Structure 1
Amino acid sequence: MTLSLILACLWAVVANVAAMIPSRDRHRARAMVLIATGIPLVGYVTYENGPWIGLLVLAAGMSVLRWPVAYLVRRMTGGGDASS
C-alpha cells in the first residue's frame, strides 16, 4: 500500500471521528479543513496510483462530505435558495 493510500485512509478515519464530535456551527469549520486537506490528497493519490484509484478516493471523500457537495451542486445549477 502506498503512502498516499495510507494518508487517504487516515483522512477518512479523521473525518469520521470529526463527524461524531458535537459542534455548534454544524461542522462547517471541520468540513472546510477536511476539504482543504482532501483536495491535495486526492491529487497525490491520483499521481501515485493512477486516475481510477484517484476517482475512487474522490468518490469516497464526496460520500463523507456529501452536504458541501450537495450545496455546491445546488448553487451551480441554481436550484433553490443557496443561503438556507
Structure 2
Amino acid sequence: MTLPLALCLVWLIAANVIAMFPSRDRHWRAASVLIAVGVPLLGWATYVGGPVVGLLLLAAGASVLRWPVIFLWRWLRRQVG
C-alpha cells in the first residue's frame, strides 16, 4: 500500500468519525477542512496510483461529503440555467 492511499484511508476514517459527533453548524466547518485536505491528497493519490484509483477515491470522498457536492451541483445548474 502506498503512502497516499494509506493517507486517503485515514482521511476517510476521520471523515466518518467526525460525522458521528453532533455539530452546531451541521459539520460545514469540518467539511471545509476535509475538502481543503482531501483535494491535494486526492491529486497525490491519483498521480501515484493512476486515474482509476483517483476516480474510486473521488467517489468515496463524494459519498462521505455528499451535501457539499449536492449544493455545488445545484449551484452549477442555477448558473447554467
Bucket of the pairwise TM-score, normalised by the shorter protein = over 0.9
Between the aligned partners of 1:40 and 1:58, the Cα distance in structure 2 is 12
Which position in structure 1 is the counterpart of 2:32? Answer: 32
- Shift in Å, 1:74: 0.2
Which position in structure 2 is the counterpart of 1:55? Answer: 55
Moved over 2 A (4+): none
- Shift in Å, 1:78: 1.1
Q: Which runs of 5+ in 1 are unaligned?
A: 80-84
Aligned residues: 79
Q: Give the partner amino acid of 1:31.
A: A
Which position in structure 1 is the counterpart of 2:7? Answer: 7
What SS does the aligned partner of 1:78 have? helix
Q: Deviations over 1:27-78 (max 9, x none)?
A: 0000000000010011010011001100100110000000000000000101
**TM-score, normalising length: structure 1:** 0.91
Between the aligned partners of 1:49 and 1:16, the Cα distance in structure 2 is 23
Q: Which runs of 5+ in 2 are unaligned?
A: none
Q: Percent identity?
A: 58
Q: Give the partner amino acid of 1:73.
A: W
Between the aligned partners of 2:57 and 2:66, the Cα distance in structure 1 is 14
Q: CA RMSD in A?
A: 1.0
Between the aligned partners of 1:30 and 1:5, the Cα distance in structure 2 is 21
